[in-house]
Amino acid sequence: MKLETIRTWKERVGKWTKGLAGISFICVLGMLLLNVADVLLSKLFQRPIIGTYELTQRILMCAVFTAFAYGQSQKAHINMTIVIRHFPRPVRFALFTLMSILSVICAGAVAYGAWKQGMVALNSHYITEILYIPLFPFYFVEAVSMAAFTLTLLYDTVLYVMAIFRDDLAQMIQAEWS
């Protein structure tokens, strides 16, 4: 596979995950506006918005999980490369691939667990305590977001496997290491 093709796919993954990051941005903006309105109404008119804390909890969960895949596509997550960067390229990227495979497994397990919890919340009719909002949609947002994160990690893992054998790809990947 040519390096230009890999860069094209990398840009596509970045655009795709940026859409999820947009959801995260909207959630953070919504939390900000909701909490400012709650404080203003509480202090000026002694009329707080009922359930603000509850809504903030749920929106924050969506904001965090929808940002993971974008963070991975932008290489914003921390990778401990301080030791392995001194190893020969095949060993360096074999170890980096192993770490990435473990990340894929963990993220996939969280996605699966969130989906299962969403199904339990749906079938058991779990709701929030104050506003009685069904909880299952929030678990499904988490599950879909973690599945996207898992796929982004999997894409990077494939690149790391290829970098074991290709110096040009290894240099491209290492340029993102701090």
- In the chain, the amino acid numbered 45 is F
Q: What is the pLDDT of residue 52?
A: 96
Tokens at 105, concatenated: 């497994």
pLDDT in tens, 76-108: 888 778 888 889 999 999 999 999 999 999 999
Q: For residue 158, how many other CB atoms are within 10 A of its CB?
A: 15
Q: What is the pLDDT of residues 115-136, one digit of tens each?
A: 999 999 999 999 999 999 999 9
**What contacts 91, CB < 8 A, 6 or more positions away?**
84
Q: pLDDT at residue 53 above 70?
A: yes
